[in-house]
C-alpha cells in the first residue's frame, strides 16, 4: 500500500476525503448527520501519531476515519495522541473509543475539561437544568417535549474519554515537525482550543471561525456569562493574528483570508446587536419571542432552541454592557431597552 493518500473519487466506494495540509498533517472530511455535512478530523502521521478531533460516533464516521488511516498506512491502534478543539459531539464523539483501542492520550484545553467536557459525564444531572434554562427564557413547554429524547440520541453518539489531560493557553506542542502554540478561542464553546504555527502562518481553528456560516454563539445553562463578548474578543485576536491559512471544522478543510472573515463576522454580530436594541426599544420580549426577529424563517424545534440560545447571547451581551434591562414577568425573563 502506498504511503500517499488515495485521491477522492465519487461512487459507491468513495475514497477518503483527505487533503494534505502540511508535511505529515492531513485533513479528513468525515460525514456527520448535521446540516454542515462533514467535520474535519486532522491526522498527523509523524510520531506521536495524532488525531485532532474525532467526529461523532456513527458507523459512517468510524468507517471514514478507519479508511483514511488505512490510506496512510495506519490503524486505530497506531494513534498515540488525540487533541480535541472543543467538547461538542461532532468533535469529541469517538475520543473514548480511540482511547480504549489504542491507549492514546486525550488532550483538551483545561477550561473545557472543567466545563463542557463534564456535561457528557454528568448528563443525567445537568439535563434538567438545560430544559429549565430554555423554559425560563420563554420556550413553550410543548416545544420542549422532544428535548430529552433528542439529547439522549446525541449522548448515545458520544464516547467521552476516561482520562483527559489538560492543555493551557500558551503551552507549546510538537505536531507535523513544527512547534505549535496553544490558544484559547472562546465563544462558540467556553473552552475552545486553537493551535498556531507562526512560521507557517497556519491556524488549526476548529469552529472558532468558519468560511460559509457563522459559528453558533449561544448562551446555555452552564455557559460562561458572556459568550458573545468572548467571541468578539476571539475574532479580534484572529484578525490581529492574521493567519495565511486556517484549518476549519466545517466547510473547509482549509480557508484563507482569515482576518477578513473575522472582520465580516464581527460586523455581522454588531448588526445583530443593533437589531436587538432597536426591536426592544419598541417592545419588551423574552429571548424566545426575540428569536423570531433574529431568525424569522421556519425552524425545527431543535434549531429554534439554537436560535434562542444565540438570541440570548446577544441580549445578555447588551444587558451586561449596559444597553438592556431584564425583569422576571412570572414565567420568563423579559428584556427591555434601558
Which pLDDT band holds residue 332 (cuts at 50, 70, 90)?
very high
Q: How confident is the model at residue 15 (pLDDT cuts 50, 70, 90)?
A: confident
Residue 5 pLDDT level (bands cut at 50, 70, 90): very low
Q: Which long-range contacts (CB under 8 A, 24 or more apart) does 211-215 make?
A: 211/248, 211/251, 211/252, 211/255, 211/261, 212/250, 212/251, 213/36, 213/250, 213/251, 214/265, 214/268, 214/269, 215/187, 215/188
- Reported as a single tens digit per residue, the pLDDT across 191-235 is 999 999 999 999 999 999 999 899 999 999 999 999 999 999 999
pTM exceeding the 0.75 threshold for the entire prediction: yes
All structural domains of the chain, each given as residue ranges with its CATH number in brackets, are 18-278 (3.60.15.10)
Give pLDDT tens digits for 272-293. Answer: 999 999 999 999 999 999 999 9
Amino acid at each position: 500500500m502506498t504511503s500517499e493518500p488515495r485521491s477522492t473519487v465519487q461512487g459507491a466506494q468513495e475514497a477518503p476525503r483527505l487533503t494534505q495540509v502540511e508535511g505529515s498533517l492531513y485533513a479528513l472530511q468525515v460525514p456527520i448527520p448535521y446540516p454542515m455535512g462533514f467535520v474535519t478530523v486532522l491526522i498527523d502521521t509523524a510520531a506521536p501519531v495524532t488525531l485532532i478531533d474525532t467526529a461523532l460516533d456513527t458507523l459512517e464516521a468510524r468507517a471514514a476515519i478507519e479508511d483514511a488511516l488505512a490510506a496512510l498506512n495506519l490503524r486505530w491502534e497506531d494513534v498515540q495522541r488525540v487533541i480535541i478543539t472543543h467538547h461538542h459531539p461532532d468533535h469529541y464523539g469517538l475520543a473514548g473509543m480511540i482511547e480504549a483501542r489504542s491507549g492514546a492520550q486525550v488532550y483538551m484545553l483545561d477550561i473545557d475539561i472543567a466545563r463542557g467536557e463534564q456535561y457528557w459525564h454528568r448528563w443525567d444531572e445537568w439535563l434538567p437544568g438545560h430544559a429549565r434554562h430554555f423554559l425560563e427564557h420563554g420556550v413553550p413547554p410543548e416545544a420542549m417535549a422532544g428535548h430529552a429524547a433528542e439529547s439522549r440520541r446525541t449522548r448515545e453518539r458520544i464516547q467521552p474519554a476516561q482520562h483527559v489531560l489538560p492543555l493551557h493557553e500558551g503551552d507549546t506542542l510538537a505536531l507535523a515537525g513544527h512547534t505549535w502554540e496553544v490558544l484559547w478561542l472562546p465563544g462558540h464553546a467556553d473552552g475552545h482550543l486553537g493551535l498556531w504555527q507562526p512560521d507557517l502562518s497556519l491556524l488549526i481553528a476548529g469552529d472558532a471561525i468558519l468560511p460559509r456560516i457563522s459559528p453558533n454563539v449561544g448562551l446555555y445553562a452552564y455557559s460562561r456569562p458572556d459568550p458573545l463578548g468572548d467571541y468578539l474578543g476571539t475574532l479580534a485576536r484572529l484578525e490581529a493574528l492574521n493567519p495565511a491559512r486556517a484549518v476549519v471544522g466545517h466547510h473547509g478543510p482549509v480557508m484563507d483570508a482569515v482576518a477578513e472573515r473575522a472582520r465580516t463576522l464581527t460586523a455581522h454580530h454588531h448588526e445583530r446587536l443593533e437589531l436587538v436594541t432597536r426591536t426592544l426599544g419598541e417592545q419588551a420580549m423574552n429571548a424566545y419571542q426575540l428569536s423570531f426577529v433574529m431568525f424569522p424563517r421556519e425552524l425545527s424545534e431543535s434549531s429554534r432552541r439554537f436560535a434562542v440560545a444565540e438570541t440570548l447571547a446577544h441580549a445578555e451581551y447588551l444587558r451586561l454592557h449596559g444597553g438592556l434591562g431584564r425583569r422576571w414577568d412570572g414565567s420568563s425573563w423579559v428584556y427591555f431597552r434601558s
